[in-house]
Each structure stands twice: as C-alpha cells, then as structure tokens.
Structure 1
C-alpha cells in the first residue's frame, strides 16, 4: 500500500481563527468531541488499551469541575504514551488526538492540535490515496461545524 501523506484542508485556518475566539472550556469540549469522533480507529487496533478513552473523559471531567487540571494533564501524558506504543498511523494519531484533548485543560491551544490529529486519522485511515484529501476535508468540515455549534 502507498504511504499516504497528510495535507490539511483550507478550512483549517478558519478553525484556528474561530478557536482563538473561543472560551477555554468550549475548546476542551470541542477537542474531546474531535478525539472521540476518531477514537474507534485506536480501539480497533488496541481494544484493551483504555488510555485514550480515559484521556477524553478526563478532559470532559475537567470541564465539569470534577477533576483538577493536573489530573487531566496526567491522562494526556498516558494517552501520548499509548500513541508511542503503536505503529499504526491512524491509531497513533487517534491516541495523540485524545492526549491533546485532555491537555487542553492545561493549555487551551492544545485543542487545535487535537483537531489536527483527528484530521490526520481521517487521512491515514483512507485506503485509497486519491481519497485522502476529501476524507481530511470532510473531517475538518465536521470539526468546524461542531465548534460553531458549541459557541451557541
């Protein structure tokens, strides 16, 4: 199979601009939604590894005020360790998305990184290289609409 390279869609700039204007907790919710949207790609390869799922839940728990930022950040590190443990590109990117989603509790800018890794999952999960850019664009469109919806 041909190696598929990630090429971001044009809407990524609009996402970044909207994110700059967004509340920290809205960004954390959005980042966890982006990570959860692609989590199945990690679970398919590592069904017994709960670290990315726990990172997503930690991010949401932080938003609800149930855990301190330090706990969410620890879950982020664990999810990144899960990414390091796997060599399948889509699964690795999904774990990184979850890690950045949880890390958004610490630094709001991590939300955009979570979304970018989720978009990478859409690219890497594509079996046909000719379809990669449309899969990435579809994921980015979903992300942009989700962030808009959370602003309401």
Structure 2
C-alpha cells in the first residue's frame, strides 16, 4: 500500500484528461448556480479555464485563480444547491493541480467536481438523501460511465477515498469504489 509521502506517476496528458472530465461533471450543475446568481460568471469562468487546460492550454496562475474565484462564489451563494454547483466548478479548475502523491486526499481532487455536481442536483431537486432512484445516483452513474481512462488509471495509483466529508464525501467514496471495480 502506498504511503502519503510516496510519489506516483502523473503525466500532463493524464492531468488534462482528468481536468476535462471534471469540467464536464461540473458543467452538469452550472445552471443551478446561474439560476441563483445569473450575473456571477466565476463558476463558468473556472469551468472554461479547466476546458482550456484540458484542450492543450497552459497550467497558469490564472487557472488557479479561477478555481479560487469559484470557491469564493460558493461562499457567497444564497442556496445550498448553488454552493455545491460552484464548488464543482472550483474542483474542475483545481483538478489541473492534482499532486503526484499517493495520498487519499488526491482522490477528492479527481472526483470532487462529480460529487459536488451530484449534491447540487440532489439539493436542487428537493429529494431526500435516502431515495433509491435519486437524481444524484443518476449523476454519479453518468460520471462513472464518462470517466476517461486516465481517471481510473490514476485512481489505481492512489489509496481509496478517505472517510468523512458528509454527503459529498459519501458520493466521492461511492464513485471511487465504482470506478475501481
């Protein structure tokens, strides 16, 4: 079992695939944020910056700043669903900065956009967390089916997702387990 200090292999191409995947996942919930705060473009800007990196752009300070801007948008959002939608965008741009360390926390960087998007959709739908056929289950299944090879390959180099994190942490662990099986 790798330890937290062990380094893993992580290519720029893998980072691009992971970031593109995270952007796709976050985009699924973007309208939830934009319905709540239509004039605030920070989450959309973060997703666009993630897409630009995934498409061959450079990993710049501006990309990192777009992630932080989406994080601040989440802090200022007026509904829990909008908060998670903005956090999904933050994770999308932040995925470009995944560290090549065998640390379970890195799993959150890979799957955080999908998990926050699922939570945003769950909250927006008004569903109870215990419902069998939930919107979040559909979102997580979509995320599982659309994960590129780099996501599963890099997850295979990391320990399993860590405990904690509430409902979003549960989604991360569920998706992590599904992608590893």
Shorter chain as denominator, the TM-score bin is 0.7 to 0.9
CA distance in 2, matches of 1:132, 1:40: 24
Q: Which residue of 2 aligns with 1:134?
A: 134
Q: Which moved more, 1:104-113 or 1:83-92?
A: 104-113
Mapped contact 2:118–2:136 kept (Cα < 8 A): yes
Q: Which residue of 2 aligns with 1:53?
A: 44
Structure 2 unmatched ranges of 5 or more: 1-9, 100-105, 152-181
Q: CA RMSD in A?
A: 2.4
Q: Which residue of 2 aligns with 1:75?
A: 66
CA distance in 2, matches of 1:128, 1:100: 24
Matches for 1:26-105 after TM superposition, within 5 Å: 26-105=17-96
Q: Deviations over 1:20-78 (max 9, x none)?
A: 9x922111010000000110000000000000000001011112333433221110000
Q: Which moved more, 1:132-141 or 1:43-52?
A: 132-141
Mapped contact 1:96–1:117 kept (Cα < 8 A): yes
- Which structure shows the bigger proportion of residues in helix conformation? 1
Q: Which residue of 1 aligns with 2:124?
A: 125
Deviant stretches of 4+, over 6 Å: none
Q: Which residue of 2 aligns with 1:144?
A: 144
Q: How many residues align?
A: 131
Structure 1 unmatched ranges of 5 or more: 1-19
CA distance in 2, matches of 1:132, 1:90: 20
Mapped contact 1:39–1:53 kept (Cα < 8 A): yes
| Structure with the larger RCO, 1 or 2 (CA within 8 Å, 6+ apart) | 1
Q: Deviations over 1:80-130 (max 9, x none)?
A: 000000130111100000001001111164231111111111211122426
Larger radius of gyration: 2
Q: Which moved more, 1:97-106 or 1:67-76?
A: 67-76
- Please report the TM-score for the alignment, with normalisation by the length of structure 1: 0.77
Q: 1:119 to 1:74 in 2, by over 3 A?
A: same
